[in-house]
Amino acid sequence: MRVVVLTGAGISAESGLSTFRDSGGLWEGHDPMQVATPEAYDDDPGLVQRFYDERRAALARVRPNAAHDALARLEARLGEDLLVVTQNVDDLHERAGSARVHHIHGRLRSAWCTTCDERHPWDGPLGDRPPCPWCGEATLRPDIVWFGEIPYGMDLVERALGECDLFVSIGTSGVVYPAAAFVHWARGTTLELNLEPSAGASDFAESRQGPASRLVPAWVNELLGEGPGTST
Ligand code: OAD
């Protein structure tokens, strides 16, 4: 069985990372449009860099939760038949043990040089304008796909969805495209696991509500025939 899983901020919420739209539309005190657009970066690069420096530093203080662990367990069984496509810029899937993870919105622990176009693994701050390790210019920005920019690797995602038997969407509000359209691109049956019905819940064959740390392990158990599942 070929499975494509899409994850959003909701899967990392129980690890202690804020979602984007659950606290009155603010993300760590900011309107996402003020920190997650190329225009915001042009207007005030220092503010945007500081914001992402804080998010990058926060990663060191959190750990994967039972939902990330369950997806790693699923990959251990399905191997290449599972692809996790994530909108998240954290690295909690990888730290839980998943290897087949595609970050369509980029990654916090990566820096992109706008002069030489190289990308570098990055754990420290960017706000102090460090030089690019490749070309030496102080033009590193977060390797994050901002609003108005093109998500990474959509050809790969489209192909995987066109060949899958099951598409599962976990912890995403379903309002940001193209991810919100994946349910329509999926060839197989579709399932949503979310705290509440998402904007696109009625497009899924089935929608289950609850915290990811409970729903995801239960669904993985069900798929692998290992113990009790859940239907709510
Ligand atoms: P959102 O904040 O829009 O949605 C998070 C979803 O997770 C909501 O539907 C919540 O109900 C749900 N949720 C919250 N806690 C949960 C839990 N414990 N278990 C299960 N579900 C839970 O985040 P995304 O949909 O990921 O883009 O946002 C999509 C994109 O918009 C992000 O990647 C980001 C943002 O702006 C960029 O930065 C480009």
In 3-state terms, what secondary structure has residue 8? coil
**Residue 25, pLDDT score:** 58
Buried b (16+ CB within 10 A) or exposed e, 122-152: beeebbeeeebeeeeeeebbbbbbbeeeebe
**Residue 232, pLDDT score:** 46
Q: Does 33 score more than 90 pLDDT?
A: no
d(CA 189, CA 164): 9
How far is the centre of ligand 1, averaged over its atoms, from the C-alpha of 137 (Å)? 35
Q: Does 56 score more than 50 pLDDT?
A: yes
For 159-187, the pLDDT digits (tens) are 999 999 999 999 999 888 899 999 999 99
Residue 72 marked as a ligand binder: no
Q: Which two tokens stand for residue 228?
A: 């009790």
- pLDDT mean over 12-36: 81
* Residue 105 annotated among the catalytic residues of the structure: yes
Residue 71 marked as a ligand binder: no
- pLDDT mean over 53-76: 97
The domains located in the chain, with CATH, are 1-17+65-105+151-232 (3.40.50.1220), 19-61+109-144 (3.30.1600.10)
Please provide the average confidence, as pLDDT, over all residues in the chain: 94
CB atoms within 10 A of CB 89: 24
For 112-155, the pLDDT digits (tens) are 999 999 999 999 999 999 999 999 999 999 999 999 999 999 99
**Sheet of 140-144: strands edge to edge?**
119-121, 106-113, 140-144
How far is the centre of ligand 1, averaged over its atoms, from the C-alpha of 38 (Å)? 21
